[in-house]
A and B are shown apart, each in its own frame.
Chain A
């Protein structure tokens, strides 16, 4: 009912606008075309400068309103660098933005039609054109320089002591794998995946390295001040590991593993204090359209101290043990043929 009411009001608004528009056209004819044009021109010229002034106030106001709600403190060393880059870019583009917008609307206002003014024939000027080719080129060189400096630091090789975690996206959730005591991931093959048999990643049980691999969902534990290297996979469609607080992001592509690394610098508990938010959690969001549940594809990252991490890891049962509770990890080196459905894959 209220919708119909709204539509009626809209229609009425239309009719009124149309009638006014029509009437002003007739009035214009009566007033004489020239006078009417000059009047309209003055109004629009005034609106140009009004738009500029109100717009600038609006920009300032909007920034004031939201500056506390964005970014927050970056929680990784890469994130700090990205934030620095962001502020450099905001500064340079901000200057250009204000200069050009002010000139645009100021010129529009200042040089609006006047009977007395003659437009100035000014078809080109090589000096000016060289200036505004060279100046932007220099500014952009600076930005490219800074940008690539950070880019290569961020995308370079992960340090040797990095904690390795394999992240796998699926519709619609995340699976994490830790290599276990041997610090080596066991082989896997996607045709071995079976949620029913508890093998959500398709680990190959005849590869002994897989026996101590820990597989968990929903929560990824990483260690403060220890670099972490994520090896990113997807089980079905393209997903993306988005880590807002660490300012990191990388696609999860089926069939083509990707990697990224960073060093978390605050534990989850420290962030709770920093943000004055007792419910704070680091979230993983899927940033690449992946189907109907895309907007709910969430997981949590727990950044903990080294001691807490050891405790947590000790509590985790390897996937192999979960699937074959009879086989204790210490005794199992060689597997027999009944284990799962071993497939030799050229991985």
Chain B
């Protein structure tokens, strides 16, 4: 096998990497259960920890959406089982109470955005792929990497515990705008639940920073010999930009949270002014600005959506190229457009605030910058389409999800052009149109990209395959279901139906959608059930799946497939591989694929 030739053929090449020595040490020390599975410093194990924690959160977050969709779809029905399970405070008479409904939507948003699509997605694939695809033994700092996971775990525990306190978890929406989130008297969820939410999020920011710094330094420093930046697979580029976005924007979010904590407990007035509470008391605070928080929040909040979607884009580019058996079209344009997205991500945050009283001129600048983002996004879409053109496509489960991702990204991206245009945002802001838009472009696309990654790299993670039949069922029902759920929601939004309404029957302008809400809720439950099928497939296949017997089952060019089927800590038993070409030599010179480790032929031109 050419890979092995490459592996052993260069044993005389001197590697200057410090990690080699590190690896030698690892070869000798004994691994216990604790060091291997719990406090592991192996990037592959940490990736799996992130993945499984993310999956648990995804199930919980999904279950929350089932509960609140039940209320929204069937506002008049009494589900006795809900009262039995959740108690009479939250589900009196089998109906979700408003406080609990708002707690559920808040937790659903927080959990899915941060714990699943940031922690679960970046955490998993940055950890798993960066060292393997770059030819590194491990991360730049395996110890910080381990801490990154355990801070995530702590954040998870704190967030989970907030579900069980008497006044309930935070319930001011995942954005937690003050004054609502600052005043316990304004909302039950703004009592202890909000404190736990803030603490958990602070821990999450720490986790994200530790991880992000590690990813950046690993990508910049630990590339193997010959792996110039322009030979890196697009996954790595995507993860690099993601990490940079996170490192630059999460601290701003943290500062916003700290000011909020001060307002809550130290009597400061950063966000509070002129408040008279329904309980009959005027607060002493004057001079604060509630809008300041929104600026601080969205300065992360907007890059955050790219933190979610960029890794998905990277995974999809890689999976699509491998399975179309064709190089990704326009590699440099793909890198360039991701770079443009990363820069613009910092310059568009106020498009979430067109109707807050923002200066209209300032608003117009943000319109321009926001719609500018559509250009690199369009380039990416057309490049994916061209990658499929004249390919020889294998519909592996990973590939199906990659195609589904592109479809969803197109649909959701186009509605972004509506919302980014301030004139239309006046009407559509905070309606179900927004819900449909960001669920499609960020939620569903992000999760489809993640599924593409999981199905594609599962054989590398566990040395076994996932069951294909279950994967096909999972894909088709998820794709069809996602469109059935979110497509009609646009119509509710066009009619102006506000988001976060748990019952629209009291409104003359919105009550025509009762039937549609019921339909959406029913589909949502079916789609959720199918996700459980995936979870089952995942855990079953870890232990009982069909075994991988070839080192490179997908016929891919990248380095992770030159490592043993079940790589140990250090990834390659001998020398780390050397790279001689870019990652996308598929269908070149009549050969199906040429691994990155193969030297250029004598009369072969480099890409």
Contacts and interface: CB of A to CB of B under 8 A. Distances in A.
A101, A103, A285 interface centre (most CB from chain B within 10 Å): A285
Interface residues of A, number: 123
Contacts of B392: 111, 113-114, 117-119
B502 A18 contact: no
B99 interface: yes
Contact of B506 (A242, A258, A296): A296
Interface in A101-151: 101, 103-105, 107-108, 111-114, 117-125, 128-129, 132-133, 136-137, 140, 143-144, 146-148, 150-151
Given A21-B467, A70-B495, A40 B388 contact: no
A190 B333 CA distance: 56
Contacts, number: 369
A316 interface: no
Contacts of A57: none
B261 interface: no
Nearest to A93: B414
A187 interface: no
Interface in B391-417: 391-395, 400, 403, 406-407, 410-411, 414-415, 417
Interface string B490-524: 01001110101111101111101100100000000
B400 to A, nearest CB: 6
A234 B188 CA distance: 20
B368 A144 contact: yes
Nearest to B545: A25
B488 A62 contact: yes
Given A14-B536, A129-B333, A236 B375 contact: no
B487 A59 contact: yes
Contacts of B546: 25
A302 interface: no
A101 B411 CA distance: 9
Contacts of B364: 148, 151-152
A294 to B, nearest CB: 6
B584 interface: yes
B212 interface: no
Interface in A187-239: 190-191, 193, 195-196, 202, 232, 235-238
Interface string A163-192: 000000011000000000000000000110
Contact of B278 (A40, A97, A236, A257): A236
Contact of B467 (A25, A41, A132, A151): A25
A235 B372 CA distance: 38
Interface string A73-95: 00000010110011001001100
Contacts of A81: 423
Nearest to A24: B469
Contact of A154 (B375, B381, B384, B426): B426
A254 interface: yes
Nearest to A194: B280
Nearest to A45: B395
A291 interface: yes
Interface string A3-23: 100000010011001101110
Given A122-B327, A140-B375, A287-B431, A132 B177 contact: no
Contacts of B282: 190-191, 193
Contacts of B29: none
A92 to B, nearest CB: 8
Contacts of A140: 371-372, 374-375, 417
Contact of B389 (A41, A107, A253, A295): A107
B113 interface: no
Given A104-B403, A111-B390, A119-B326, A287 B498 contact: yes
B273 interface: yes
A276 to B, nearest CB: 14
Nearest to B483: A55
Contact of A286 (B375, B498, B509, B588): B498
B590 interface: yes
A160 interface: no
B584 A151 contact: no
A162 B545 CA distance: 72
Interface stretch (A244-252, A319-327, A328-336): A244-252
A51 B532 CA distance: 23
Nearest to B280: A195
A283 interface: yes
A155 to B, nearest CB: 4
A62 B486 CA distance: 12
Nearest to B98: A292
Interface string B69-108: 0000000000101000000000000000011001000000
B498 A242 contact: yes
Nearest to B181: A237
B507 to A, nearest CB: 6
Interface residues of B, number: 131
Contacts of A108: 388, 393, 395, 403
Contact of B422 (A28, A129, A151, A288): A151
Nearest to B491: A66
A111 to B, nearest CB: 5
A100 B385 contact: yes
B20 interface: no
A21 B507 contact: no
Contacts of A315: none
B494 A71 contact: yes
B357 A253 contact: yes
Contacts of A25: 467-469, 546
B529 interface: yes
Given A144-B367, A251-B357, A292 B188 contact: yes
A247 B426 contact: yes
Given A236-B278, A247-B427, A295 B503 contact: yes
A306 interface: no
B157 interface: no
Contacts of B494: 70-71, 86
A310 interface: no
B360 interface: yes
B415 to A, nearest CB: 8
Interface in B340-383: 355-357, 360, 363-364, 367-368, 371-372, 374-375, 378-379, 381-383
A70 B491 contact: yes
Nearest to B75: A295
Nearest to A72: B495
B186 interface: yes
B412 to A, nearest CB: 11
Given A40-B472, A140-B417, A124 B356 contact: no
A69 B516 CA distance: 11
Nearest to B472: A44
B273 A121 contact: no
A285 to B, nearest CB: 5
20 contacts: A17-B470, A43-B472, A55-B483, A62-B491, A82-B423, A92-B417, A123-B331, A123-B584, A129-B330, A133-B379, A136-B379, A146-B423, A237-B275, A240-B355, A242-B496, A250-B357, A255-B272, A255-B286, A256-B289, A289-B500
Given A28-B468, A104-B410, 4 more contacts: A119-B325, A124-B331, A150-B423, A254-B272
